[in-house]
């Protein structure tokens, strides 16, 4: 009987410590619901603005900082649908895309998918092949330019 209580007491003590240590640490639940519309109302809409060829300057050699920034954006917003090879996941692979398409086409496809799918025959063909419309990732013109620089690097440009 004495042995059972000496084993049982430390186990109960340990259980009580674990139970109370997993509490809310004094943080009260916030009963106020988040208003998504209010949180997003001041965010700028970045789709719908066509990029003109005259707005794009191609660097030679590649801008290493832009390549690194473009890679980060790719990993965050593009990688789940696009591989850096010819392989298609959801969207087409990116290998040699800068050799097949003009920079203005690539940047408009990144920033303004709806316009491209309405007006561009090549974008419409890609939609037929992939069967999934590319979502608007709310990518700015500046970020699209960095993604383009990363794509150029992926295609072997220096």
**What pLDDT, in 10s, does the model give residues 78-136?**
999 999 999 999 999 999 999 999 999 999 999 999 999 999 999 999 999 999 999 99
Structural domains in the chain plus CATH codes: 63-154 (1.10.760.10)
Count of residues making up the chain: 158
**What pLDDT, in 10s, does the model give residues 21-71?**
665 555 555 555 656 566 556 655 555 578 999 999 999 999 999 999 999
Q: How far apart are CA 61 and CA 45, in angstroms?
A: 32
Identify the pLDDT of residue 60: 93
Q: Who's near 56: CB < 8 A, 6+ residues apart?
A: 103, 104, 107, 145, 148
């Amino acid at each position: 009987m004495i042995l059972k209580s000496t084993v049982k007491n430390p186990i109960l003590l340990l259980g009580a410590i674990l139970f109370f240590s997993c509490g809310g640490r004094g943080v009260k639940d916030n009963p106020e619901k988040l208003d998504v519309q209010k949180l997003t109302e001041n965010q700028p809409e970045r789709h719908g603005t066509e990029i003109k060829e005259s707005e794009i300057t191609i660097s030679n050699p590649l801008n290493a900082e832009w390549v690194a920034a473009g890679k980060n954006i790719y990993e965050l917003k593009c990688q789940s649908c696009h591989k850096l090879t010819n392989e298609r996941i959801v969207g087409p692979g990116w290998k040699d895309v800068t050799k097949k398409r003009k920079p203005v086409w690539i940047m408009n496809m990144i920033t303004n998918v709806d316009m491209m799918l309405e007006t561009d025959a090549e974008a419409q063909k890609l939609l037929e092949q992939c069967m999934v419309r590319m979502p608007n990732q709310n990518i700015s013109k500046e970020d699209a330019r960095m993604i383009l620089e990363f794509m150029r690097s992926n295609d072997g440009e220096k």
